[in-house]
Amino acid sequence: MDSLYVLVVVGAMTAGFVQGLSGFGFGMVAMSFWAWTVDPKLAAAMVVFGALTGQLLAAFTVRRGFAVGHLLPFIAGGLLGIPLGVKLLPHLDPLVFKTFIGGLLAVWCPIMLFATRLPRIAVGGKLADGVVGAVGGIMGGIGGFTGVIPTLWCTLRGFDRDVQRAVIQNFNLSMLVVTMASYVFTGVVTRDMLPLFGVILPAMLVPTLWGTRVYVGISDMAFRRIVLGLLTASGVALLASAVPKLLA
């Protein structure tokens, strides 16, 4: 099998399991594999496709309601942010892309490791939630990272596990549907990408369902620590490989 397909399969399996377990994170985990060698536009399209598939599976297997009062401001902001992210995507240089992904992993993952110990944020109300949703929409348009900032924000808000899962799962699903439609409409998704989509779908199917079973049965705290630690290391490695070339 071609090395690209091996990389795509391993990334999809790992990311699918993490998304099934936590309700988010497909893009971060998949990109820690794919950003090394895959073109930014192709990698972004694969992430959005895989994350959307995982969210659809999770929506039918892990149901935690909709938490409408919490969810709507995030979606309103996200819908405003997606078009900007989609416009930025074609202009990303591969080295800049790797630096962006590496920096995101190296900064966001350690913050998430310690987020439960940080002070709770009670100010800002629905407007702040909408701004966070807009940032999630922009990052979703760039590469399917819809849940990164909203997940951290919900943690800092002190939402309990099921409320946070409901907000992030439904926000991600909504944003990913719109992002994929935007990618198709603007030509980001091409026919040449379809064979890779056909590889991602079966590769992530069982791991995602397994992850949802693990979520229902046990606490995911220890697992989150391991995954976030590994992703932090991957982010640092990406920065180490990209930044010197970018500066040169």
Higher pLDDT, 205 or 57: 205
Residue 185 confidence class, pLDDT cut points 50, 70, 90: very high
Q: What is the mean pLDDT of residues 117-122?
A: 79
127-136, 176-185, 209-218, 233-242: lowest mean pLDDT where?
Answer: 209-218
Give me the chain's average pLDDT, please. Answer: 84
As a whole number of angstroms, the distance between CA 199 and CA 178 comes to 22
Q: Is the pLDDT of residue 49 over 70?
A: yes
Higher pLDDT, 118 or 146: 146
User: Given this model, what pLDDT does residue 145 score?
Assistant: 85
Q: Is the pLDDT of residue 53 over 70?
A: yes
User: Given this model, what pLDDT does residue 160 score?
Assistant: 77
Which of helix, strand or coil describes residue 62?
coil
Q: Is the pLDDT of residue 51 over 80?
A: yes
As a whole number of angstroms, the distance between CA 82 and CA 71 comes to 17
Share of the chain above pLDDT 90, in %: 32
| Amino acid, res. 20 | G
CA atoms within 13 A on the CB side of 42: 17
Is residue 175 exposed (0-12), middle (13-18) or buried (19+ Cβ within 10 Å)?
Answer: buried
Q: What tens digit of pLDDT does each residue of 194-207 get?
A: 999 999 999 998 88
Residue 92 confidence class, pLDDT cut points 50, 70, 90: confident
Instruction: Supply 6's token pair.
Output: 């091996």
For 197-231, the DSSP string reads HHHHHHHHHHHHHHHHHHHHHS--HHHHHHHHHHH
Q: What is the mean pLDDT of residues 108-121?
A: 80
Q: Is the pLDDT of residue 248 over 70?
A: yes
As a whole number of angstroms, the distance between CA 51 and CA 79 comes to 17
Residue 45 confidence class, pLDDT cut points 50, 70, 90: very high
Strand positions, DSSP E, the chain: none
Instruction: Supply 184's token pair.
Output: 């198709």
